[in-house]
Structure 1
């Protein structure tokens, strides 16, 4: 018989094992969901400080009001109330370069800048500023955006950012990605000509990267957090629906615009 190796979970008629532990006897009631999610992705059990920062990231990304992802979930639930999975999927599928995907984009960008950088732990703020300035200039020269700065709502400052930095430092998890991200916040105005706030999705990506989680999976954690928020939106939609009004507002105000005359074939 072929074998299919896994370090995640297995079961037999009497037991369920997860990450090598008896689910019923060793994990239920003893391991929190955040710790378990970290453990599954990192393939190692996190410290208490790492769990604290990781769960802070999840809380910070849970909801941001009537974003396109939340509206999509609510409209899909209105259209198909028998398919809660469809509504959740509709919201999750909207996680991309403008919403939620910034978490991954920022973590990837910071990680790329840090590759090959020696003695990261011993660098001063001035050293980090020099590294950040060079990276921002390189991004600008290449016509690329620097991810993690600017926000459509929080024009002056994102209230999540200083709290996340404080939790990272207090939990012993403030590493090179967060230090570089802070430096980007200090120096980018020299290159871009205007000051933009560091945003919550960006600091979340930096924190997740400092926690040693797989860079390729950073968006997955943003989606994990937002799933809880979408469940909240669907629960509220059941009691105080806004989807019918959104649908009616758009549908009743649709204006037909003739196609431009492309000439005869």
Structure 2
């Protein structure tokens, strides 16, 4: 059964025959292996063209910034999965990547879409970004919504990763409308929302790479690729010295049961 339009059965990414493998119009063995770094190859695979030096450096910086973030829930899920199935690296890696949602790591996509929304609103209304940003923040306050890309529970005075990425974007000359919009939001949010809301790394990453030329529709690929590297480190460490069951045990100790009491427990208590 066909669902939707299916009259364009093509791919422009790769092909092969008995003698060659072609990726984005380049010979894998002659033009790419040993001649291109992985960040350039990532950009080429997704967009079809190699990045400029500035685009590569910006992407590199973003990948490094988000690759590792300690024992967050997605990492714990991956490590506990490997502890339960030591031979299932692929399952453990999947557990970690599937745990990247709108709160951790996947928040970069939400921030990128929010920045695009503010810019689009300014263009539609024929106003400037600052006016659109202020109106959006006021609407967030009225409806008690979180502002994507702003705020951090630990770095209330400013997320150092975000500050560094924005500085690199300025140095590389890629700063544009997305970074301008993010900075305007960061300027006005604390006063409008009435609490500290510094620009966080989830806001800086999409702003930087969107201004560098990365497509909005592929934002999620960046934290996914970066976190795969961090998860690899955690899974290798888990295989060498496991803490998966320790984390599981600590969670069991930390969570108290407040459900109904069985008849047997009631009698025992008497």
TM band (smaller chain) = 0.7 to 0.9
How far did residue 139 of structure 1 move? 2.8
Distance in 2 (CA, whole Å) between partners of 1:101 and 1:181 is: 18
Written as runs of structure 1 = structure 2, the 5 A alignment for 1:122-201 is 128-201=129-202
Identify the residue that residue 22 of structure 2 maps to in structure 1. Answer: 17
Asked whether the equivalents of residues 130 and 184 of structure 2 are also in contact (C-alpha less than 8 Å), the reply is: yes
Taking structure 1 as reference, are residues 215 and 172 closer, same or farther at Cα in structure 2, changes over 3 Å only? same
Q: TM-score, normalised by structure 1?
A: 0.88
RMSD: 2.3
Distance in 2 (CA, whole Å) between partners of 1:168 and 1:54 is: 10
Say which SS state the counterpart of residue 115 (structure 1) adopts: helix
Distance in 2 (CA, whole Å) between partners of 1:41 and 1:233 is: 27
How far did residue 240 of structure 1 move? 2.5
Structure 1 residue ranges (4+ consecutive) displaced by more than 3 angstroms after TM superposition = 127-131, 250-258
Find the partner of 1:78 among 73, 80, 83: 83
Q: TM-score, normalised by structure 2?
A: 0.86
How far did residue 189 of structure 1 move? 1.5
Distance in 2 (CA, whole Å) between partners of 1:114 and 1:9 is: 35
Superimposed CA distance per residue, residues 222-254 of structure 1 (whole angstroms, 9 cap, x where no aligned partner):
111101000011111122321121123334666
Identify the residue that residue 98 of structure 2 maps to in structure 1. Answer: 93
Of 63-72 and 204-213, more deviation after overlay is shown by 204-213
Asked whether the equivalents of residues 129 and 186 of structure 1 are also in contact (C-alpha less than 8 Å), the reply is: no
Find the partner of 2:70 among 59, 62, 65: 65
Asked whether the equivalents of residues 66 and 227 of structure 2 are also in contact (C-alpha less than 8 Å), the reply is: yes
Distance in 1 (CA, whole Å) between partners of 2:256 and 2:188 is: 47
Give aligned pairs, total.
253
Distance in 2 (CA, whole Å) between partners of 1:136 and 1:80 is: 46
